[in-house]
Structure 1
Amino acid sequence: MLYFSPISDPGKGIASILSFGEIKILLDPGSDDLLSEFVVLDFVPDLILFSHSDIFHLGSFVNGFKNCGWHNVPVYATLPIFNMGRVTMIDCYKNLLDDSISKKDIDEAFDSIITLRYSQPTSLSGKLDGITITAYNSGHSLGGTIWKITKDSENIVYCVDWNHSKDSHLNGSILYSNGVVLDALSRPTTLITDAINSNVFIPSRKKRIEAFFDSIRITLIQLGSVLIPTDAATRSLEFCWILERYWQQHNLQYPIYFLTHAGSKLISYAQSMMEWMSDSIISEYGSNGNVFEFAHIKIISNEHELSSMVSGPKVILATSANMDCGFSQKIFLNNIAKDSKNLVILSQKSIYYENSLSKDLLDRWNMVTKGYNQSIASSVVLNFSRNITIRTLVPLVGDELEKYQEKEKLSREKKTTELILEFQNRDLFDSSDSDSNDDDDDNNNHRMHFKNDSIVAKGSGSLLNPGIHDLYLQTNEIKKMLPRCKMFPTLEKRRRFDDFGEIIIPEKFVRVMEEDLDFNITNETNKSINTLTKKRKWGGVSNNVQTRENTDKDVHIPSKIVVSEEKIMIKCSLRYIDMEGLHDGKSLKTIIPMVNPRKLVLIHSNQETRNNMMTTFKTLVSFTNDIYSPLQGEVLKIGIGLNSYNLKLSDDIINTLRWKKLGDYNISHVIGKLKFCTDSFPNETDLPTLDVLPMNSNLKNIPQSHPLFVGDVKLAYVKRLLQEQGHIAELIGEGMLLCDGLVTVKKIAGDKVILEGGISQEFYDVRKIVYDSIVEFL
């Protein structure tokens, strides 16, 4: 049976559990910008799926991977989420000044993700046998995903935070394109979607873009600065793109700064994933790779570079979006809040959580502009005081520093000893181990790195010195092998191949003497670009692609986080312009009925939006009555109640089957008799066999069935076929198709189709097309 349960606190993630019997699928284990609540389960999930690369959808993943035993859980996402999610988490932990999770922990977690392309069905194995997952473009973010999850008769479409409209750098969702719902996503057994904007009307993108740049231009002319708090990897790309293009078109000289701890990685990843972007970008740039090379945007990756920002009017993009930590909070407190000439533009209300600074500012803006008769309310000047929680990193001194160093020393000794013992206990000469240890690609000919002070290794009998060296194990096995092994025994690694040939390890082709590969490679690239382009400079820094700091080179200083509160006076200007790339109420109420699910589950919504959506859908004649909106922790039974079984077919019955094609399936109607295994000790894998009925069977006892129709009549498909045959067909009202003004085809709840009209050639033509769209068994 199929169950669904939201498990995240509303406003602090969108995580949920989808259960197929004993199989538990964790969807979007997110958190908030402060990582105040992690997804904690009393079991280890069997599968994890990600829809987007922001904190709201994956903020709990690294913690779960490190501390909750998710190491062996299969995790699936698209390539952009695999890359951008990594950027998001690096920036998040840097913003929080939290060193409990290292970059190595983040890399290990995201390296475990299996990447998929759009529309690539993937059949899972092992415990997940029988489940097929497919990713589809959802819009909203680079690599954003609608998941189709299929098992037996269940067909689940998990579709959260989607956008049917195009952005500057993204195509709209494939769910609804060119006025048609994608066939592969239509009529699912269950549609799980969000209702966050169900009562919101969003003005056209053109109007919002105009309002956005009008606000920026007016503020800059008045010698003020603009702060745009944003996330690290999803909507920030859209802001960078439209700002760069606008500055180029209008030849503006005001500086733009993008403040994020992982900006260099973000831009590098974006440049390598053009095929995931909009058709307009692909057609404009082709395969040149020049996309996201900015002449007007300078990336700042650490606080030491903040002093390089010029004084005077400027535009600042900064993380995090909620302004409770990170660059955005620091810039707001020090540069923006106290001057009415400065402007804050809020744009991503769906991820603002209660009591955050951004949510507080948005509530005040809504209260002031409530009576404004404008599609996009203008900016307002604030004048109030507020307590701000500030996180500061203070170096450890005295006893605290000594305790920290002792703890770190013990931890290093423990890890080193465990590593040595593990290595020592391996059977180096068992050929079968050669295959099982293929994944140890990081061990370069079994040389080991020890960066701590000298440690006595148990069992080695020698003192291990810092640096790189061979670890010689004096065991009985090695002594026995000496006559045969003239050289130190090594394991030959299996060569790995994919569809394009042998997999290349990039590190093997980089200069050996580089101390920091990423840093040097990036700087060499930037130097070459700057030399070729020779763009003018602000303050000695090139306006072209900026020197990208490598966050990995930060020297670790033992420190502690001190949390304090500061009361500040806020006198700046504020405006909200929706730029988060999500659906609105109109699109939700138009597209979901066209998807026409058998059951609808609404999540990520408050009481008002839930009531709004459920009231609207319950008035639709042809829409399902199975509409649910579960609360946090509520377990919802959403299975369609059909049973499926695995059987063996005998050769005799196979010869009697007449197969009919229906979509991607071949189906046949069959009557037979089950025979069960009669062994005294049956194997769990033994299946019952379906065989033909014996000749002496009593025909009266055979179950009788009426004509059976299998499939789904899609009015849009019937309309297209009728028009191709020269008929006039148009959709009128909800679930009704009018053909030649004489015949109607109506769909009503319960999968019923009604064909009405007088006896005529048109009636028989329409009936034939309707019958051809399904499979009939007499």
Structure 2
Amino acid sequence: MASIVRFTPLYGAKSSVLALSGVLELDNYKILLDCGWDVRFNLDTVEPLRAIAPQIDAVLLSHPDVMHLGALPYAVGKLGLNVPVFATLPVWRMGQMFMYDAVLAKKEQEDFNEFDLDDVDNAFERITQLKFQQPFALTGKGDGIVITPYSAGHMLGGTVWKVKKETEEMKDTEEVIYAVDVNHRKERHLNPSALLSISRPSHLILGASQSLTRITPKLDLTGPAIQALERGGNVLVPVDTAGRVVEVALLFDDVWSQKKITQYPVAILDFVAFNTFDFAQSMIEWMSDSVSSRFDLLRENPFQFKHVHLCHTKAEVDALPSPKVVLASFPTMEIGFSLEYFLEWAEDPKNLVLLVDRVEKGTLAHELKSLQGPMRLVRTRKKRVPLEGAELREWREAQRQKELEAARNQEGTASQPDAMDTEANPQPMDSEASQDEEDDGFDSLKKQNFVMFPYQETERKWDDYGEIVDPEQFRKGEDAAELDEDDMGEDEPKDLTIRTNFAMEGVTDSEEEERRKIPKKYVEEQVDIVVRCETVTRDFSGLCDGISLKELISAVAPRRLIIVHGTEEETRAVVDMGINGLGLSPDSVFAPSKKETVDVTSDTSVYRLKLADSLFNSLRFRKIADGEVAFVHGRIRIEESEDREDVILESVPEGSSSGHPTVFVGDARLPILKQSLRQSDSGFKPEIAAGVLYTENQDSGAVVTIKKQGVGDFDLQANLSEDYFAFRDHLYTHFVTL
């Protein structure tokens, strides 16, 4: 019997919202497909997740960006989502980078309390990492369900999920493919999607995003940037944190190397840039065949950039010579460094904003995408700034008073004698000794309590091998200040400037530490500018366009198509594509709206019923194979509530039922029937010829023939005699009679 399959998009269906989440229900097992949010972290977006989170049994994450997993820390920390989470290694690693950057950028704009970095760590600790095409069998309530990740080709580690529900009869197997944001083209660091290797699944959940676009594969991306640089303008490229930025960075580094461009620096600016590309260097096996072969043969790692600078602060980018290219997060330009640089560069017509990713309606990037000529922009800008002037002096005075109070308390505690020690060791009152103590010259120090600054002991870190030491403290003659230029190799840089991830050039460690200690506050200011910079759009989102989606659906040939993750226009286009373009039945194409549940069960005669206790207690079960069966005769009653509808099967009133016809459950094969007749003492000698079993009773000479016409359907021929009834009774022993 086939499983019951239902799908409910929580958000991200028939909507311009790019955040995505949905619930796939296989019988009683509920799988959350993605758990996305937008970078503005609007609580209204994830409100549908609040009610369903406690009912979820497992979570599958397809991509590492915020729109696919951004709500995971919030759901785990605040909504009670305490279930296994499955993803690939790159989705796990890069997903953390996305969330770190988003939280830090949000905190630079306002007091963000929905979750913090600790919540991010706790959520990602739950993730079970899988490799591409690695089947994983769920256990417990999900027994019989096997999940397998395949490459999506959109981002590093991006996944197409296959969810397979196995039944006793393989012909009833449900195979659900979840494929949102796939790319059929090969890129610099990614192979095309492996979705085309899957054929004829029972269900395909497909994303409709970009279905109305026509992508030109060889469209020049760096050309407009080089033109802007040559006229003296800066170039701003809003990118994500650890997804499509990888491909964009590789492109700029390759073009700069081929054209030998050295005068125009390229910088990647976000809070986790170093970590992102450090992780990317260790994930070569997840990348394209060309990247893997170059690394195996030549030991070339494409992420050891020659022309791209990784920066964590705006001051580091400002220190680079202008004009320059800045790849800054985020693509929406609502938060992050991309917004800061846009407000700074927007009024100069020489500058360029290069939009390379899809943008969500209602964002600043979407406004710029349709920009024609100068545009006045009035916007409330929120930011976090250090305290200055009287506020800073007031804060420092409060801190000084706290330190003084702490020192007084500490000195007072240390000067109090221990009462137990005094009683146990009484000191003799010697007058000469007392006089000596008064004349020893330290009497004034003993009588006065001087203010002592608090001392904070440096915390020592330990591992399995002992205390962790800093190797730099034990080097001799290797410090930059101790090295002479003559001692350096030819390939070593002459200028050895010590830099940390968050340090600025020209700032000492003590100054940097002091700068960090200064508290900050949130302020709002009204920004009124005229946007005169050039805006160019180049689709570098790495997604299938409308024509590619049509070819993909045709190649995969699903029996049922479910469309999500697109606007109403994009969804309608894919529905029309499936019905009119590919000849799918209208009954097999589904386009649910937000929070709309669609029943996509393959066998439409399967229903879910609840048996009333009185009816269940009256059943008489018969054992068959490894299970038990019983004949049920009842009537259906429907109970409706606010959020669900229960179908209950209850007993019929006494006297209203006249019984039921005999039902035979099971099947018999002629070879097995022949063997059982020979082993019985009935006297029959069976033989099989031309698909018919012949048997003759040696005592009476009666002949009986039986031919199987179907499952449980036999044609029995014989004279009406005791032999006929004896043979029929023996045949019945191979069935369970209800």
Category of TM-score, reference length = shorter chain: 0.5 to 0.7
Relative distance call for 1:213 and 1:634 in structure 2 (3 A) is same
Q: State whether structure 2 residue 362 is matched by structure 1 residue 355.
A: yes
Q: State whether structure 2 residue 47 is matched by structure 1 residue 36.
A: no
Relative distance call for 1:279 and 1:22 in structure 2 (3 A) is same
Give the corresponding residue for 2:150. 136
Q: State whether structure 2 residue 639 is matched by structure 1 residue 630.
A: no
Residues 330-382 of structure 1 deviation map (CA, whole Å, 9 limit, x = unaligned): 11111x20111111110112xx2222110111133xxx5xxxxxxxxxxxxx3
Query: How far apart are the structure 1 equivalents of 2:338 and 2:92?
Result: 25
Q: State whether structure 2 residue 333 is matched by structure 1 residue 323.
A: yes
Relative distance call for 1:672 and 1:508 in structure 2 (3 A) is closer
Query: How far apart are the structure 2 equivalents of 1:467 and 1:81?
Result: 39
Aligned length: 531
Residues 728-758 of structure 1 deviation map (CA, whole Å, 9 limit, x = unaligned): xxxxxxxxxxxxxxxxxxxxxxxxxxxxxxx
TM-score, reference length from structure 1: 0.62
Relative distance call for 1:293 and 1:64 in structure 2 (3 A) is same
Give the corresponding residue for 1:612. 573
- SS state of the match for residue 243, structure 1? helix
2:69 counterpart letter in structure 1: L
Give the corresponding residue for 1:765. none
Relative distance call for 1:677 and 1:579 in structure 2 (3 A) is closer
Give the corresponding residue for 2:549. 588
Give the corresponding residue for 1:95. 105
Relative distance call for 1:88 and 1:508 in structure 2 (3 A) is farther
Give the corresponding residue for 1:676. 628
Relative distance call for 1:83 and 1:289 in structure 2 (3 A) is farther
Query: How far apart are the structure 2 equivalents of 1:677 and 1:281?
Result: 58
Matches within 5 A, 1:570-719: 570-620=531-581, 623-625=584-586, 626-641=588-603, 676=628, 704-705=710-711
Q: 1:104 aligns with which of 102, 118, 125?
A: 118
Query: How far apart are the structure 2 equivalents of 1:319 and 1:387?
Result: 22
After TM superposition, the structure 1 stretch with the greater mean CA deviation from structure 2, 56-65 or 280-289, is 280-289
**Unpaired runs of at least 5, structure 2:** 167-172, 400-454, 473-478, 505-511, 608-622, 631-663, 678-703, 714-738
- SS state of the match for residue 305, structure 1? helix
2:574 counterpart letter in structure 1: M
Give the corresponding residue for 2:414. none
Q: 1:266 aligns with which of 276, 279, 286?
A: 276
RMSD between aligned alpha carbons? 4.1
Relative distance call for 1:673 and 1:248 in structure 2 (3 A) is closer
Q: 1:576: Cα distance to partner?
A: 0.3
2:597 counterpart letter in structure 1: V
Relative distance call for 1:303 and 1:509 in structure 2 (3 A) is farther
Seq. identity, % = 31
Q: State whether structure 2 residue 255 is matched by structure 1 residue 255.
A: no
Q: State whether structure 2 residue 561 is matched by structure 1 residue 548.
A: no
Matches within 5 A, 1:282-293: 282-286=292-296, 288=299, 290-293=301-304
Query: How far apart are the structure 1 equivalents of 2:464 and 2:605?
Result: 53
Q: 1:99: Cα distance to partner?
A: 5.6
Query: How far apart are the structure 2 equivalents of 1:3 and 1:150?
Result: 14
Q: 1:630: Cα distance to partner?
A: 0.9
Q: State whether structure 2 residue 213 is matched by structure 1 residue 193.
A: no
Q: 1:20 aligns with which of 16, 26, 30?
A: 26
Q: 2:180 aligns with which of 157, 160, 171?
A: 160
Q: 1:291: Cα distance to partner?
A: 2.9
Q: 1:48: Cα distance to partner?
A: 0.8
Q: 1:389 aligns with which of 380, 385, 395?
A: 380
Query: Is the CA contact 1:272–1:289 (under 8 Å) kept in the aligned structure 2?
Result: no
Query: How far apart are the structure 2 equivalents of 1:203 and 1:339?
Result: 30
Q: 1:563: Cα distance to partner?
A: 4.1
TM-score, reference length from structure 2: 0.65
Query: How far apart are the structure 2 equivalents of 1:603 and 1:108?
Result: 29
- SS state of the match for residue 583, structure 1? coil
- SS state of the match for residue 40, structure 2? coil
Query: How far apart are the structure 2 equivalents of 1:610 and 1:134?
Result: 27
Query: How far apart are the structure 1 equivalents of 2:457 and 2:599?
Result: 58
Query: Is the CA contact 1:598–1:624 (under 8 Å) kept in the aligned structure 2?
Result: no
Query: Is the CA contact 2:137–2:143 (under 8 Å) kept in the aligned structure 1?
Result: yes
Q: 1:68 aligns with which of 63, 79, 104?
A: 79
Q: 1:140: Cα distance to partner?
A: 0.9
- SS state of the match for residue 602, structure 2? coil
1:7 counterpart letter in structure 2: L
1:249 counterpart letter in structure 2: Q
Give the corresponding residue for 1:230. 239
Q: 1:20: Cα distance to partner?
A: 2.0
- SS state of the match for residue 551, structure 2? helix
Query: Is the CA contact 1:271–1:289 (under 8 Å) kept in the aligned structure 2?
Result: no
Structure index of larger Rg: 2
Relative distance call for 1:506 and 1:119 in structure 2 (3 A) is farther
Query: How far apart are the structure 1 equivalents of 2:306 and 2:492?
Result: 8
Query: How far apart are the structure 2 equivalents of 1:699 and 1:261?
Result: 84
- SS state of the match for residue 329, structure 1? helix
Give the corresponding residue for 2:65. 54
Relative distance call for 1:299 and 1:636 in structure 2 (3 A) is same
Give the corresponding residue for 1:212. 221
Query: Is the CA contact 2:667–2:711 (under 8 Å) kept in the aligned structure 1?
Result: no
Query: How far apart are the structure 2 equivalents of 1:615 and 1:587?
Result: 15
Q: 1:676: Cα distance to partner?
A: 3.0
Query: Is the CA contact 1:4–1:19 (under 8 Å) kept in the aligned structure 2?
Result: yes
Query: How far apart are the structure 2 equivalents of 1:533 and 1:585?
Result: 55
Query: Is the CA contact 2:6–2:24 (under 8 Å) kept in the aligned structure 1?
Result: yes
Relative distance call for 1:224 and 1:357 in structure 2 (3 A) is same
2:138 counterpart letter in structure 1: L
Query: Is the CA contact 2:18–2:565 (under 8 Å) kept in the aligned structure 1?
Result: no
Query: Is the CA contact 2:269–2:314 (under 8 Å) kept in the aligned structure 1?
Result: no
Relative distance call for 1:252 and 1:673 in structure 2 (3 A) is closer
- SS state of the match for residue 286, structure 1? helix
Query: How far apart are the structure 2 equivalents of 1:158 and 1:506?
Result: 45
Q: 2:193 aligns with which of 142, 148, 173?
A: 173
Query: How far apart are the structure 1 equivalents of 2:349 and 2:465?
Result: 54
Query: How far apart are the structure 1 equivalents of 2:315 and 2:148?
Result: 44
- SS state of the match for residue 7, structure 1? strand
Q: 1:22: Cα distance to partner?
A: 2.9
**Unpaired runs of at least 5, structure 1:** 176-180, 369-381, 406-464, 470-504, 517-522, 646-670, 679-688, 708-778
Query: How far apart are the structure 2 equivalents of 1:55 and 1:569?
Result: 31
Relative distance call for 1:15 and 1:507 in structure 2 (3 A) is farther
Q: 1:131: Cα distance to partner?
A: 1.3
Query: How far apart are the structure 2 equivalents of 1:67 and 1:270?
Result: 31
- SS state of the match for residue 96, structure 1? helix
- SS state of the match for residue 28, structure 1? strand
Query: How far apart are the structure 2 equivalents of 1:578 and 1:7?
Result: 28
Q: State whether structure 2 residue 527 is matched by structure 1 residue 566.
A: yes
Query: Is the CA contact 1:299–1:548 (under 8 Å) kept in the aligned structure 2?
Result: no
